[in-house]
Structure 1
Amino acid sequence: MKAPLGRLVAHDLRGTMPDSPQGVVLVLHGGGEKGFGPMPWWEGPVLRMWPFAKAIEKRAGDRLAVVRLKNRYFGWNGPEQTPLTDARWALGRVRERYAGLPVALVGHSMGGRVVTHLAGEPDVTTVVALAPWVEEGDPRPGRPGLRVLLMHGVDDTTTDPRRTERLGEQLSAEGADVTWRPVEDEGHAMLRHAPTWHREVAEFVTSSLLR
């Protein structure tokens, strides 16, 4: 199924792009299993990632470029994997401007699934997966030198924190430096303890890229 003609289906990037940063953070939003409906900037999954970008910007200043990707569509969409295609496009734009800089990927839910697919990219040094959608058969590209933060609400009924914990064990077995952070009394939307999520992600990303 393709998106009907005339719909807003463009991917887009927004954020801060200083002249000489030490690294780049690419922030990826969530979505659903299926859906070719467009994702405007004001859609909930997209807006949910704005405070994470702001928290990183506040902590890092001009030392990091922080950009958010807006996908074309809502869904993962089976073998088309449309958000993965969009994220690869975004990485290409980042590399055009900041060739050779280390990249941190921060993704929630479906965006968390995307970051595990892209963790094997040579310039990706840091991966943050927040309540990620974890599927058997997806890539598990752990390696020495890769730093990973996995955060998941213990009360999440949309994606499974137990799968995220097992993902961490697999990545660690491959040599990645993994931090597993279950968040008590928290669901999928990361709203009950929002400041905790924002602060810990900002601390992890900046310490990883700026160490």
Structure 2
Amino acid sequence: MTTGPAQPTDPGGDGDREAHRPLVVHRASDAPRAAVLLLHGGRADGRTPPPRLNLPALRMRPFGSALSRPPRGRELLLASVRYRCRGWNGPQADAARDARRALDELAALAAGVPVVLVGHSMGGRAALRTGGHPTVRGIVALAPWCPSDEPVAHLRDRTVVLLHDARDRITDAEGSRLFADRARDSGARAHAVTMPRGGHTMLRGARQWHRLTVELVAAILDGAPLRLPADGKIPG
């Protein structure tokens, strides 16, 4: 996964975990009709907190800005997950644990509001892992990390779209395709989409990534058909 200089050792401990608040609300309305939860990338392993200058988190800001534009932005609660650790950390799955707690907090804050998860890289894996939460209507996973043994049964009846550039050298686009196949076999409305450029950072062709993500989130929340090419490849 990605980024940044080493940080001081995390104090750790159950009490420290209890004090951590994983939900960060960026934009809210008095009566939101939907919510989007952003999950940025990280590392396979890393028990220290994300650095103050957190490049994976910065990478998600343009997606948040695009999602906040009118008209839907006026009725959208936009939030993100603050990770306690910068890594997934094997069976601990720390990013997924934080994502579940953030979803619980979001459900308490905006009861009955449907949620779409938008996650990149490790955050894409966390979104896919927690997509069975009762508030979640769908997931847009951006260049996600999809190991071959990642569970899928909990995604039944969810809409799941995985966007990946085949030239990504950090996470595996073929892994996304295989994940979508397995999720579809388990009853999810799952799609793997090949992006024409962007690599892992999604910097080249960034507007296309932002625009498609906004369109997918809107369609999932509206229960509308997804406008995707029949061959699953977005033209360049």
Q: What's the TM-score, normalizing by structure 1? A: 0.91
Aligned residues: 208
Contact 2:41 2:56 in 1 (8 A): yes
Cα displacement string for residues 59-114 of structure 1 (whole angstroms, at most 9, x for unaligned residues):
42222111112212211112221111111121111011111111111100001111
Matches of 2:160 and 2:94, distance apart in 1: 24
Q: Deviation at 1:12?
A: 4.9
Matches of 1:178 and 1:62, distance apart in 2: 28
In structure 2, do the counterparts of structure 1 residues 96 and 41 end up closer, same or farther at CA, with 3 Å as the change threshold? Answer: farther
Q: Deviation at 1:139?
A: 1.4
Q: Deviation at 1:40?
A: 4.3
Q: Are 2:128 and 1:121 aligned?
A: no
Percent identity of equivalent pairs: 37
Cα displacement string for residues 152-185 of structure 1 (whole angstroms, at most 9, x for unaligned residues):
0111011100010111111222222223211123
Aligned to 1:66: 78
Contact 2:148 2:179 in 1 (8 A): no
Matches of 1:92 and 1:117, distance apart in 2: 15
Matches within 5 A, 1:81-160: 81-140=93-152, 141-144=154-157, 146-160=158-172
Contact 1:25 1:105 in 2 (8 A): yes
Unaligned ranges ≥5, structure 2: 1-7, 224-236
Q: Are 2:11 and 1:5 aligned?
A: yes
Task: Identify which range, 38-47 or 193-202, moves more after superposition.
Answer: 38-47
Aligned to 1:37: 48
Aligned to 2:228: none
- Amino acid in structure 2 at the alignment position of 1:5: P
Matches of 2:73 and 2:28, distance apart in 1: 11
Q: Relative contact order: is structure 1 or structure 2 higher (C-alpha 8 Å, sep ≥ 6)?
A: 1
Matches of 2:160 and 2:11, distance apart in 1: 39
Candidates 196, 206, 209, aligned match of 1:184: 196
Task: Identify which range, 113-122 or 155-164, moves more after superposition.
Answer: 113-122
Unaligned ranges ≥5, structure 1: none
Matches within 5 A, 1:43-62: 43-59=54-70, 60-62=72-74
Matches of 1:209 and 1:62, distance apart in 2: 14
In structure 2, do the counterparts of structure 1 residues 173 and 86 end up closer, same or farther at CA, with 3 Å as the change threshold? Answer: same
Cα displacement string for residues 28-66 of structure 1 (whole angstroms, at most 9, x for unaligned residues):
010011112221463100111111111111142222111
Aligned to 2:207: 195
Contact 1:154 1:186 in 2 (8 A): no
- Amino acid in structure 2 at the alignment position of 1:87: A
Specify the SS of the correspondent of 1:157.
Answer: coil
Displaced runs of 4 or more, over 3 A: 2-6, 8-12
Q: Are 2:217 and 1:205 aligned?
A: yes
Q: Deviation at 1:203?
A: 1.0
